[in-house]
Amino acid sequence: MEILLAGGAGYIGSHTAVELVEQGHDVIIVDNYSNSSKEVINRIEKITGKQVQAFEADIKDKTEIMSIMKETKPDCVIHFAGMKAVGESVAKPIDYYRNNIDTTLTLLECMKECNVNQIVFSSSATVYGEENDIPYVETMKRGNCSNPYGWTKYMMEQIFEDAANADENLSVVILRYFNPIGAHQSGEIGEDPQGIPNNLMPYIAQVAVGRRDHLTIFGNDYPTKDGTCRRDYIHVMDLANGHLKAVEFARDHKGYHIFNLGTGEPYSVLEIVEAFEKANGIKIKYEFGDRRLGDLTEYWADAQKAQEVLGWKTERDIEDMCRDTWNWQKNNPHGYA
Ligand code: NAD
Ligand code: UFG
């Protein structure tokens, strides 16, 4: 299949591109590089040994996207292009609503006009909000998001649902990611956050490589066994494989479908620090700090549906996630720079 990856130069998009190319698909990466580097394209080509089509364009630019779709005639689109920093979304809500909603509408309009009928969307466990019981199941109500980023995902899911209801030819697969970490085993691609990392694993990796002095653990008074929050961390290559399955599913199924992509097994912040130390033989200096506003105590996925319907399951464990993160970071201490 020809698959257009909107935002395909980013962390999850680049790993998915490798997985799709290695499984015999052709990818077309469209990215404005607002949160990624053009070097990613060279690295994807190096890993796969294949040339990849890449276009520099803003997904909000309908004229550009129409022309790329007409030229490349994809069978399917995967929509990764979005702004994703929770804290920044509180400070810059308009930017988040503009970019995330507008990219979605533009893609759907261009797809309709170009007769492209399959789309897979990067959603997030954040749409389960603050009130659902754990583990999270796809049939639960979404809502009560704790920040504008979460609300953009909520709204985009609704847009996709309404679009699928109105057009019997459309296939929409919503993938709700839990906490993606790790990197491709080659160490050629990985997560390369701009500035101070917001997320746990990139922060740990930068402490390990000496770019940060120590990790601050946000709160040790949560009602968990060690007092730190628990999350469902998933290896980015398992997540990439989930996209492969989703694309194949979208080809054969019309309508609107939601899947959790997680392992179903939560780890606490302290357990992640210990796992990283053990996997890589490196001590991570840390201090306990205040709780971070908006953090939930714990949540994880019920990942049954993806297993039963997509035939997908995770294959990599926490040790793989920690080892591959470090392999990427130590080979690229300053990311792609
Ligand atoms: P990322 O920032 O690394 O990748 C997003 C890519 O989209 C970047 O390359 C960026 O340059 C591009 N982009 C953004 N706006 C664009 C626009 N208007 N036009 C063209 N390109 C644009 O993020 P990621 O971690 O790879 O996440 C991918 C998707 O998955 C996002 O939608 C994110 O919200 C979602 N998601 C991520 C996580 C996570 O923890 N990483 C968790 C849940 C959901
Ligand atoms: N944490 C620290 N110190 C840090 C960074 C994080 O203690 O420097 C803790 C957090 O408090 C949290 C855990 O590590 O308990 C995980 O935090 P992350 O920021 O890595 O991930 P989140 O679970 O907060 O959020 C992630 C994505 C969101 C997405 C959400 C949905 O960043 O985009 O998962 O599951 F919406």
Average predicted confidence (pLDDT) for the chain: 97
The whole-angstrom separation of Cα 316 and Cα 222 is 28
3-state DSSP assignment of residue 193? coil
CA of 8 to the centre of ligand 1 (A): 8
**Helix pair 236-252, 11-22: axis angle to 10 deg:** 60
CA-nearest of 148, 142, 147, 202 to 176 is: 142
| Nearest CA residue ID for atom 6, ligand 2 | 200
336 assigned to active site: no
Contacts of 172 (CB under 8 A, 6+ apart): 119, 120, 121, 160, 161, 163, 164, 250, 255, 256, 257
CA of 269 to the centre of ligand 2 (A): 9
The whole-angstrom separation of Cα 104 and Cα 122 is 11
pLDDT, tens only, 246-298 = 999 999 999 999 999 999 999 999 999 999 999 999 999 999 999 999 899 99
Is the CB of 40 within 6 Å of ligand 1?
Answer: no
pLDDT at residue number 141: 96
Is the CB of 9 within 6 Å of ligand 1?
Answer: yes
The whole-angstrom separation of Cα 31 and Cα 37 is 10
The whole-angstrom separation of Cα 203 and Cα 195 is 11
User: Considering every ligand atom, which ligand is closest to the CA of 301?
Assistant: 2
CA-nearest of 223, 224, 212 to 287 is: 212
Q: What DSSP line would sit under 285-324, residue for residue?
A: -EEEEPPPTT--SB--B--HHIIIII-------HHHHHHH
The radius of gyration computed from the CA coordinates of the chain, to the nearest angstrom, equals 19
Residues of the chain short of pLDDT 50, as ranges, are none
pLDDT, tens only, 138-159 = 999 999 998 999 999 999 999 9
Number of the ligand 1 atom closest to the C-alpha atom of 84: 34
Task: Output the ligand 2 site: residues, CB below 6 A.
Answer: 84, 86, 124-126, 178-179, 198-200, 203, 215-218, 229, 231, 269, 292, 295
Q: Per the residue annotation, which of 11, 136, 149, 233 is the catalytic one?
A: 149
User: Considering every ligand atom, which ligand is closest to the CA of 96?
Assistant: 1
Asked if residues 108 and 163 have their Cβ atoms less than 8 Å apart, the reply is: yes
pLDDT at residue number 102: 98
Number of the ligand 1 atom closest to the C-alpha atom of 34: 11
The whole-angstrom separation of Cα 85 and Cα 68 is 28
Number of the ligand 1 atom closest to the C-alpha atom of 40: 9
pLDDT at residue number 294: 87
User: Considering every ligand atom, which ligand is closest to the CA of 59?
Assistant: 1
3-state DSSP assignment of residue 330? helix
User: At 202, which amino acid appears?
Assistant: P
pLDDT, tens only, 308-319 = 999 999 999 999
**Helix pair 269-280, 200-208: axis angle to 10 deg:** 40
| Nearest CA residue ID for atom 20, ligand 2 | 199
CA of 285 to the centre of ligand 1 (A): 29
**The two three-digit tokens of residue 331, written as one number:** 């080979």
Report which DSSP code applies to 125: G
| Nearest CA residue ID for atom 13, ligand 1 | 81
